[in-house]
Amino acid sequence: MKVLKFGGTSVGSAQRMREVADLVTGSGRKIVVLSAMSGTTNSLVEIANYLYKKNYDGANEVINRLERGYLDTVNELFRKEDFKHKGLELVKSHFDYIKSFTKDVFTVFEEKSVLAQGELITTALFNFYLQENGHDSVLLPALDFMRTNKNNEPDTVYIRENLERIMGEYSDDIQLFITQGYICRNAFGEVDNLQRGGSDYTASLIGAAFDVEEIQIWTDIDGMHNNDPRYVEDTQSIAEISFDEAAELAYFGAKILHPTSVLPAKLANIPVKVLNTMDPDAVGTTISSSQHKDRITAVAAKDGLTAIKIKSGRMLLAFGFMRKVFEIFESYKTPIDMITTSEVGVSVTIDNNRHLEEILDDLRKFSTVEVDYDQVIVCVVGDLVAENKGYANRIFEALKDIPIRMISYGGSEHNISLLINANDKKAALQALSAKLF
Ligand code: ADP
Ligand code: ASP
Ligand code: MG
């Protein structure tokens, strides 16, 4: 069995859905994971923001615009009147549900339910389309098997048991299962999600649960590139990359993969292929356990970081200083991305400022702190073992005109990270491409 995930652009119009149908209806048993049609989740976030503020006119305008888009898609997608009717009714019922929040209390629970509607509508329409064209496909409701635990981590045992149970209800002749990416239930059974871009994570969790032969991530570009194509021209697709390198790139900003989506595949040793829906014959990228020696593989950048410099003349060399620092971040459930140390202080970066003020207050009880906002980690990934001399030199040569605030190497042998100002990001990525590839 294989898992195939198609992102928002890949199912972004009636025509694209037809192309995806052509790609998935060949031989072999498959679970197909779909995101919402492109732009949908952004619009649902916009709607939720209006609903929080009780701005019902604002909400209705976006709701109506989004609904019209889906009704147009239905009219274009289906040929047979009965399927067109089913599609229109389905879209209307989901939008009636969204509209029901334009008069009532709106909390984080309702927000999660609104955000789930995109994947629910898109998968149902796609499944109708397959059936209209004579395919025996089954829609698997992700909310019946995809679940997180109290730590917001996937509950892998629950996922496997329930997916097996639900699929077991169908005959072995069924070849095609369709399900929603991104959405799940949390430990309390409430509708929740795996964070923005989380459909990739859904695919790898399902792949790992079934120990499938391959996970395919179909998107709008021919694989993982060696730099961010949104900022750098002439980036190249990477034919083969290791799980560890792909995970580093995803974590440090390569939007093509959700940051946590590589780990389940790595643990189960299932190859992940990143493929282009617009160019299905392109080789794309294969992510596997194979390591690639003596090369710099790629560059990525993670935005939206805050750097905190913590100084204490008295405390650093004393036992327990680091523990005290880390305990503060832990108590506010705020992960640290990057860390550097010196004799008089330690600098860390965080990407979640929700508890920043409390964290700073606690740190100030035993140190002085300086804060810099709008920082970016630029991360160079490759075979950077100490014996491969000269790579660090090329990286610093490339960045010679850019102020660098923090440098981190040695946490792993395939990553050098540098902290710079957001304003310098584009120039840094371009300079690195010019010097390294
Ligand atoms: P999907 O909707 O299919 O999940 P995404 O928009 O989430 O697609 O991810 C694909 C996009 O990721 C590409 O269009 C590209 O702009 C961006 N991207 C960022 N970094 C990289 C990279 N290193 N390689 C390829 N694409 C990247
Ligand atoms: N539709 C969701 C989002 O836009 C999930 C995904 O695309 O992976 O974030
Ligand atoms: Mg994505």
What is the per-residue pLDDT across 195-253, written as a single tens digit (0 to 9) for each?
Answer: 999 999 999 999 999 999 999 999 999 999 999 999 999 999 999 999 999 999 999 99
pLDDT of residue 315: 55
Task: Using DSSP, state whether 5 is helix, strand or coil.
Answer: strand
Distances from the Cα of 263 to the Cαs of 28, 135, 154, 334, 405, in angstroms? 25, 33, 12, 21, 30
- 9 C-beta closer than 6 A to ligand 1: yes
- 12 C-beta closer than 6 A to ligand 1: no
Q: Whose CA is closest to atom 8 on ligand 2?
A: 197
Give the model's confidence band at 2: pLDDT under 50 very low, under 70 low, under 90 confident, else very high. Answer: very high
CB 375 within 8 A of CB 421: yes
Distance in Å, CA 204 to ligand 1 centroid: 17
DSSP state of 221: S
Give the model's confidence band at 273: pLDDT under 50 very low, under 70 low, under 90 confident, else very high. Answer: very high
CB 138 within 8 A of CB 178: yes
Amino acid symbol at 433? S
- Ligand 1 atom closest to the Cα of residue 228 is 20
- Ligand 1 atom closest to the Cα of residue 254 is 20
Task: Using DSSP, state whether 180 is helix, strand or coil.
Answer: strand
pLDDT of residue 102: 93
Q: Whose CA is closest to atom 11 on ligand 1?
A: 256
Give the integer Cα–Cα distance in Å for 236 and 192. Answer: 36
- Ligand 2 atom closest to the Cα of residue 200 is 8
Distance in Å, CA 113 to ligand 2 centroid: 14
pLDDT of residue 245: 96
Give the model's confidence band at 317: pLDDT under 50 very low, under 70 low, under 90 confident, else very high. Answer: low
Q: Is the pLDDT of residue 319 over 80?
A: no
Distance in Å, CA 111 to ligand 2 centroid: 15
Give the integer Cα–Cα distance in Å for 210 and 267. Answer: 13
Give the integer Cα–Cα distance in Å for 297 and 174. Answer: 40
pLDDT mean over 388-411: 94
- 255 C-beta closer than 6 A to ligand 1: yes
- Ligand 2 atom closest to the Cα of residue 196 is 9
CB 217 within 8 A of CB 286: no
CB 236 within 8 A of CB 178: no
Distance in Å, CA 129 to ligand 1 centroid: 27
Give the model's confidence band at 312: pLDDT under 50 very low, under 70 low, under 90 confident, else very high. Answer: confident
**CA proximity to 33, closest of 277, 214, 204, 203:** 203
- 277 C-beta closer than 6 A to ligand 1: no
pLDDT of residue 386: 82
253: left (phi over 0), alpha (psi -120 to 50) or beta: left
Vertex 400 angle, CA 227 and 292, to 5°: 40
* Spatial CB neighbours of 417, under 8 Å, sequence gap ≥ 6: 252, 338, 377, 378, 379, 380, 406, 407, 408, 409
**CA proximity to 297, closest of 242, 257, 252, 339:** 242
Q: Whose CA is closest to atom 5 on ligand 1?
A: 256
Q: Is the pLDDT of residue 342 over 90?
A: no
pLDDT mean over 357-363: 98
Q: What is the pLDDT of residues 282-296, one digit of tens each?
A: 999 999 999 999 899
pLDDT of residue 314: 64
Task: Using DSSP, state whether 56 is helix, strand or coil.
Answer: helix
Q: Enter the pTM of the model.
A: 0.95
Give the integer Cα–Cα distance in Å for 430 and 170. Answer: 52
Query: Using N-to-C axis directions, what is the helix angle for 56-77 and 40-52, rounded to 10°?
Result: 160
- Give kind and range of the element (H or E) at residue 430: helix 425-436
pLDDT of residue 101: 94
pLDDT of residue 316: 54
Burial 113-139 (b: 16+ CB within 10 A, else e): bbbbbbbbbbbbbbbbbbebbeeebbb
Give the model's confidence band at 104: pLDDT under 50 very low, under 70 low, under 90 confident, else very high. Answer: confident
Query: Using N-to-C axis directions, what is the helix angle for 56-77 and 108-132, rounded to 10°?
Result: 10
- 33 C-beta closer than 6 A to ligand 1: no
Around ligand 2, the residues with Cβ closer than 6 Å are: 7-8, 35-36, 41, 118, 181-182, 196-199
Pairing status of strand 30-34 against strand 240-242: unpaired
Tell me which of 41, 123, 220 to substitute to probe ligand 2's pocket, judged by most ligand atoms within 8 Å of the beta carbon. 41
Q: Burial, 359: exposed, middle or buried (Cβ in 10 Å; 0-12, 13-18, 19+)?
A: buried
Query: Which domains occur in the chain, in start order?
Result: 2-219 (3.40.1160.10), 297-436 (3.30.2130.10)
